[in-house]
Amino acid sequence: MANDKRIVITGLGWVTPLGHDLDTVWRRIVNGESGVGPIDRFDAHGFPTTFAAQVRDYDYRKYLDDPALHEHAGANSQFALGAAKQAWCQAGLDKYSSLDPRRVGIYLGSGEGVLDFDRYVATDLESWDEAKRAIDHQRWIEAANKQLDAWGEIEQEPNMPVSHLAREFNIRGPAYNCLTACAASTQAIGEAFTILRRGDADVMISGGTHTMIHVLGLTGFNRLTALSTRNDDVQGASRPFSRTRDGFVLGEGSGMIVLETLEHASARGASPLAEIIGYGSSADAFRITDMHPTGRGGAAAILQALEEAGIDPHAIGEDGRPLVHYISAHGTSTGENDSIETKAIKSVFGEENAYKIPVSSIKSMMGHLIAAAGSVELITCVLAILHQTLPPTINLHEPDPELDLDYVPNDARSANVECCLSNSFGFGGQNDTLIVRNWVE
């Protein structure tokens, strides 16, 4: 049956605030380094939050044979091109001449692009009060009339990274983009996995790409009081599961993976890095910005993924451990998210098993990549399996007494890691979970 197909990961790539290649970023994660710093893309003086985790010293053109094909690419597309090219080449598809482009697809999680005229207005916003009014300000209209061109308008569209990747790799199969807030790239990978299992493609590029580090993004999240305002300790600002957490840190970038059916990967002699075995998706059916206080939505997604993977959350393996060896938490560093995600994990695995599963959040190091967050976190799961190392939650020096799981505080840890679970929960109540395991014949 089509849904019995095994789906493997053959390529990984990312562009992040910690670097632009697998080895550099993984090394910095294991070392517990922070990619957070003062915003220098525009004048953030006067905003409640003046820092973010920016991608720095990045030139997407160095990844491309013909950069002229993408000369109008916006930031989301630029991040996606670099990350996807890394994954494509690691999978060996750049040297595979028998690929049928009609059997290759794309499924991304990508948000709205940066307003083309944003940079022309940013330096004129001299105060926080003025920034709050910016969306209605006449200067935006004047800047649009003077500076916004057709390409700038097009590149704001969330589906543009899909179009750029299709052109770059001559992909003519299924092509989709979803925008389900912070759950988008996890959902995209899950849906790409589903497309492959039902036989509609042989290869999928999937993941996410996003930046909201611009005037409108910073204004919106500040008005929601979702961001940390720890301006005097920016590298310590993202502190998931800490008693002193006060909000998340904006990040940006892209994570991309190449997914293939095992049959296709084997036929071309590719070496799988890992295998996706479960995907779950649910809605909270609650408030727009709040998770249900019991964690019911997140728990439902986790349970669905475990069921598809054939994993009993209450079972113990021969080594005395639960069958899931690591959970990459959504772990945003907001009071509500970290508490409710902990409840969801306990409700699914039961307290006996939940206490035995290490849980950590790489958002403590690279901030929250919004639509791209889940994809970089899934890549981290694959690397944890390949390197038998658990990434830490840094800045966890004052544990919240009500949050008592093993959050791998501050230092990476060597461990036997064969099966990982990755959670993503988005504004609007979208919840998505993926399960990935080590590759075995």
* Token code pair at residue 78: 């630029």
Q: What is the largest CA-CA distance in the chain?
A: 68
Q: How far apart are CA 309 and CA 326, in angstroms?
A: 15
Nearest to 340 by CA among 289, 408, 375: 289
Residues with a known catalytic role: 182, 330, 368
Torsion, Cα of 38, 76, 426, 390 (10° steps): -70
Q: How far apart are CA 167 and CA 440, in angstroms?
A: 34
Torsion, Cα of 410, 211, 331, 57 (10° steps): -10
Amino acid identity of 10? T
User: Contact at 8 Å (CB) between 256 and 207?
Assistant: yes
Helix boundaries (H) for 101-247 = 118-122, 128-132, 138-147, 150-154, 160-169, 184-197, 215-223
What is 144-187 written as a DSSP string? HHHH--HHHHHTTSTTHHHHHHHHHHT--S-EEEE--GGGHHHH
Q: How far apart are CA 424 and CA 184, in angstroms?
A: 8
